[in-house]
C-alpha cells in the first residue's frame, strides 16, 4: 500500500484545559467585583463560557499530519514528530467525546498509551474517520467507545 497522509485538527490538551480554567476563574473574580445581584453575575459567566472555549481552542491549536505507510504511523506537528511501528501497535481506542475524538494508541514498546485529541469545535471537518478506516485496512485492532 502507498503512503497516505491525513490532516487532523489536534489540540494541546493541557494548554486547552489550563486556559479554560484560568478564564473561568478570572471571569468569576472580575464578575464578583461588581455590585450586581448574584443572578446577573451567573448570567455574565454563562455568556463568557462560549467565548472562553473559542479563545482556548484558538490558542491551543496544534494541527498535525498523520502519515501512514506499510511499516509505520507518523504524527507530525510543526515543532516535533512521533512515530509508531505498525507491528508494535497493540490496539487503538477511539472515543467520540463532545467536541471531538480521543485517539489512544497502545504500543508494545511504550508503557503508557499516547493520547491525541482530535478537535471538532470551531474547526472544519478533518480526516480522523479516514485515518481509522486506513488503520483497519492494515489490520490494526480498533476499539470504538
**SS3 string of 103-126?**
EEEEECCCCCCEEEEEECCCCCCC
Contact partners, residue 37, CB within 8 Å, separation at least 6: none
- In the Cβ-directed half-sphere of 145, how many Cα atoms lie within 13 Å? 13
For 15-71, how does the pLDDT look when each residue is reduced to its tens digit (9 = 90+)?
A: 999 999 999 999 989 988 989 999 999 998 899 999 999 999 889 888 899 999 888
CATH architecture classification, 4-11+63-144: Roll (2.30)
* Residue spans per domain, the chain: 4-11+63-144, 13-60
Over the stretch 92-112, which tens digit does the pLDDT of each residue have? 998 887 777 888 899 888 788
Tell me if 7 sits within 8 A of 126, measured CB to CB.
yes
Amino acid at each position: 500500500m502507498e503512503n497516505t497522509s491525513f490532516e487532523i485538527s489536534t489540540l494541546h490538551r493541557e494548554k486547552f484545559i489550563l486556559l479554560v480554567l484560568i478564564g473561568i476563574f478570572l471571569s468569576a473574580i472580575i464578575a464578583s467585583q461588581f455590585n450586581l445581584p448574584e443572578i446577573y453575575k451567573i448570567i455574565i459567566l454563562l455568556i463568557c463560557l462560549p467565548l472562553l472555549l473559542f479563545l482556548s481552542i484558538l490558542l491551543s491549536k496544534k494541527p498535525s499530519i498523520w502519515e501512514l505507510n506499510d511499516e509505520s504511523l507518523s504524527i507530525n506537528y510543526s515543532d516535533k514528530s512521533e512515530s509508531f511501528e505498525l507491528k508494535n501497535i497493540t490496539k487503538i481506542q477511539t472515543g467520540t467525546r463532545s467536541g471531538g475524538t480521543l485517539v489512544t494508541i497502545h504500543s508494545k514498546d511504550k508503557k503508557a498509551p499516547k493520547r491525541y485529541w482530535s478537535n471538532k469545535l470551531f474547526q472544519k471537518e478533518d480526516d480522523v474517520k479516514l485515518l481509522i478506516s486506513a488503520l483497519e485496512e492494515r489490520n490494526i485492532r480498533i476499539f470504538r467507545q
